[in-house]
Every structure is written in C-alpha cells, then in structure tokens.
Structure 1
Amino acid sequence: MAVKVNFYSLPQFQQAGLLYSSDLKPILKQSISEKIQYFIHKKTEGTELFNKKDYPAALEKYHQSLTLFRWIENKNPNWNNRQINDNDLIYKNEELTEDVKSCLITSYLNIAICSLKLEQWKEAELACDEVLKIDDKSVKALYRKAQAIASPSSAGAEEYQKSMKLLKQALQIDPKNLVVWQKFNEIKEISEERVISGECKKNLREAAPTPFTNPINELDDMIAKWEYMVNHMSTSTDSSEVHKFQKNLEKIKKYKAQLKSSLAGLTEKELTKLKTNKFGIDISDYIVSSEIKEAKNKGVELIRNYPLPIKESWGGWFYISLFIIIFLALLAYSLESKGIYS
C-alpha cells in the first residue's frame, strides 16, 4: 500500500504541480510533442527573466515547465477554498521517454540554479536529487547540489566533506571541467581555513589565563590544603619545618581576616583589576598570570601526592613559595590602597 505524502511537506517545485495544474489543464491534455513545444516556450521566458536577474519570476516559469510533465490533480473541485486533503490528490507523471527525460532534467536544473540565486538551499538540493534519479552522471546536478550543501552560513565540516565528495564524483565523469575544479578547490580551501580557525580558537581558549576569582575563596582553598599538609607530614620531617608551616598557616589565616575586611564591597571585576605596582607585578599581564597558574597547579599536584618525605618535595615547595610571595604582594598593595597601613 502506497504511503500518503503530506502535500505541505513537499518541495515548492512539486507543490507547483497542483497550483498550476488548473491553469495548464488544456495543455496537459495535449500530446507530448505539443507539450514539448509549450515547454520550450516557457523555458525561453524563464531564461529571459533569469538573465534580467528576476529570479522569482524566472522560477515561476520553470515551475510551469515542470508541471507539463509532472503534475497533481485534486478530486475536490473546491480545493482552492480550503485546506488541501492528501486523500484527494492524484499524482500524475508522463511516461519517461528520452524527450521527457530531457525536459525534466532541464526543468529541475533551472529550478536548482534559480533556487541557489534566491538562497533556497534545500530547494536547490532537492531539485538536483530529482535530476540524479534520472541521470546519476549529470555533472551539472552534482555541481549544483554541492553548491547547495556548502553555501549556507551554517555549513560546517560535515557539509564541506559532502560537497567535495559530490564534486569528486563530477570530476570522475568530467576530469577537465575547470568550473568544477575551481569550486572543489574553493570549498577545500574554505574547509581548511575553518579547521585552522577552529584549532586556533581552541588553542587560545586553552592558553588564556584563568581570571582571578575572589581572593577570599582562594585563601580558603589554600588554608585547607596547608592544614592537610601540616596534619599529614611524614614523621621523617624535621619538627622545625613543621612548626614553620604551622606558623605560616596562622599568618595566612590572619591575612585572610584582614583582607576580608579591606575588600568588603569590591566586585569581582574590581578584584581582577588590582595591580601590585609597588612590587612591580601586574597580575593582569598574561605571562605573570600564567606563571601564577602554573605555580599553583604544581603546588596542588604536590599536595595531592602527599605525604612525601620532605627531601623529595623541595621542587613543589618552591612553586608554593612563589605563589605565596606573589599573593602577599597583592595583599600588601590591597591593604595599602585601603589605608590599613597608612
């Protein structure tokens, strides 16, 4: 049993088979030779309009030329006054003689190129598909379908690959076709540029420094990690070293309380703009912020691997110390700018 097609889901050129069937009814009853003569007349009108760049009017003529061989009849005589019922439709096709095939291919190709000019990409693609059902070696259909797939602004890597595949098929049929070669190289170049652009954007995102968050939150995180270190230091660690870390931990907690008071009311944006000019350090500088990030990451990695004998972890302590020095420089500037030390 044939599946009923939803009329409103059909491409425009197929819907036109119903819309023009009433006007062309006298012609539709004539012989194939008479239809072909009328087809030539409509095609000529369409070409003249196309050359004048009146693409909508040209498309209308090409729709009419197609309707001569493929049209739709409606059993309901009042269908113009109500919604179309799919059960009332009868799809008509002329027998596919060589002459009819030639007329159909010409009509679909003309519809495709008009649709491309009007940026009706899907309509152009579907028209080319109809040609390829009749002649799968039509270079023009492969070429215009490739254009329809690659032209939308939303086209991406997948569409470019499909388009180039179609153009390769066309070149296998006609290897000396310079127009197809030009389009193939053009799409290939665009595809490569998009890939490079995407990789550059990805690399820039990965390379960009992470903006500083609220320093209070950073301190809370640091305090928690330092408390973990102090509580899990190896028994082989010198007691004086443990005491030194405990003392520094208390200082950080004290600085946190002072900083919390001095930075009250500042927005996140204002916090990221703080610059430690007194110490010659600019935290908005890409290199500086990257170094801070690297030092912090190495310090965190060291903490995750704890406990370790202290003699095996001096590299990690160096980076943690570097982070602390930079942080204290920021803290000193912040306190001074708020008048705490004045």
Structure 2
Amino acid sequence: MKPVLLTVEQTAEKIASGMVLSLAADEALLARLPKGNWIAGTIPYFLGEDGGVETKDKIFVTELSAANASNVAICTYTLDTIKDVARDAPENGFTVLIVPAMTPIHEEFANHGRDYEDMFMKPIIGWISGVHLSDLDKVKPKVMNGVTGRLADADAVALHVTLPAGKVAVVQILNLFKQGTGDVITFPKTGFNQTTCMVNGAERVFADYIAENQLDLKLPLVADYHGAQINTSFQGVDAATRQVNFYAPVFPGIEYRHAAPIGDYAREFEKLAKEAHVDVQFSCNCILNYLYGELNGRKIGGVGGPFTFGEIAYQLLNQTMVYLEVQSE
C-alpha cells in the first residue's frame, strides 16, 4: 500500500486488521486510535499523492509491508535509554525512530547519536515530530507507542523490524544541496547554538560574518562526510545575544561551507525523487523544504511522507528527503 491520508475510522480498520504502521497526525486524532502494532508522531504537514498538504483532519498512514506482528518490536526510549536504540535493533532488519522536537531527548540524540553503539551498523531511519508552525511554543510535539496507547512529549518511540534471510534494508538520502565554493567554517564546540566560529582559520563572531557576507539562511551549511553531503540548517540569528541557532548541531573538527544556490525546489526534488525505487517502506521530508520550496499543492515524485522537524538517517539531518528500501541481496 502506498502511503495515504486516511480518516481516524479508516486508520482504525487497518490497525484492527493487524497491519504494522507508521503514522503521523495531530495528537487529537492519534488519541482516538485503538492500540496495535504502530508508532506515531505529531505533525500536520504531509507529502501525499496530490502533493504537499496541510491538514489536522487526517492521518498520514505508512504501511510497513515488510513487517508483521511476528517480526516487529515496538519500544519506548527515555533520555537515559535512547543510547540503546541501535544496539536493540535486529542484526538484519531496520528501525523506524520518532523523536519529539525541542526536547532533551532530541538534543541528546542530535548531539551524541552518531556515537551510539552499532549506530552505523544497522539501518535506522525516522523523523523528529513537530507541531503546526502557528503552535510553536504553545503545543508540545509528541510521539505515540501504539502498543501502550501512550502519547509522550519527552520520550522517543521505535519500531524494530527483523527481515528474512536474503532481504536487506537500505537507507537513502536525497539532498538538493552541495558545498559551495566559499569559506571553510569550523566551530569550537558541539551544539545547536554558536557564537564564534573559525573562518579559514581566523576566529570570527558568526553573526557578524553572516551579516557582512549577506548569507542566505534558507541555504544550509554543508559538510562533506567522505563524499556524503550533510546539511545543518539555520534557525536564525538572535540579534540581542548575537547567537546563531541551528535545527541540528554542528560539530568541532568538521569543515562546513555555505551551500551552493539551487534552482526551483520542486523541480529539483522531482529530478531526485524519480530515481528507481525497489520497495520503499518509509519516507519523510523536511518542513524547511515544504516552506522554502512552496510545496503546498506541488508534487515532487512518487515517494510520500510527513514533512518533519528533522530527518533521521542514522543521525539527525536537515533539509533532506530520506527513505528506506528493502532490497534482495
């Protein structure tokens, strides 16, 4: 089944039939669902069959067709146990992880997830749950464990799927952005917030550097991880403190450059998303792509999912589309 937007009643029928699902919706809808083999996060923005859409009236339903009740484990992780998420994952399979935004567990995973045991040895994909942008600082992002029926604003949920021999899960990252040709920027510490940086080896106040060079904050910083282009997106600059805030942490020892400009968001994503897909189990996209690309009502390929406050492909990502395929070995 392709990911679809459904009513509470239609979603409840799928849960009752025993399907294993990943869901995204407003918390009021999630609270009405029966218990079952599913996990969920809150968000009202989705990439559906008809393009980008904003709704609090329907649930975005992704059926994990490679999963069934006999080969899944659904777990809740706390701030103290999130470090075990990859270790708990099956030796051959995949994990869908949902973490609530703007919480200590979000910060913990973002800052330290790449150092967790087995993190890059097992396929982990997922997203950061959020809220309607008009509800920022008013409503807390949440996740839900369908087995327990519990909504949580401080914990994460994960769905571990074991695959049969001969099948393998592959995480894919679609990124519009590449490093530009500008200055090399490094940072003194790990974190979502930075005041100073090194520009080509010289210390600068980062806010001043941004202003002097008129950096377009819709374009992220990009690091080259052995050929993989990884984004860190700007949240904004605090004029009072001169602190630069990001949607994911930057790390010391990593060289960043401001992203090269791109053309039409939707058209460029369409090119990326048209690549051959084998058996897509899950996908999500970034809320910044939805906003900056003006994707409401625009189609960008055949892979749908929630627009999120951050994407997970092993570690936390920004301004990407991620998806997971199950392939034959």
Q: Same fold (TM over 0.5)?
A: no
Larger RCO (CA under 8 A, 6+ residues apart): 2
Structure 2 length-normalised TM: 0.18
Structure with greater strand share of residues: 2
Task: Give TM-score scaled by structure 1 length.
Answer: 0.18
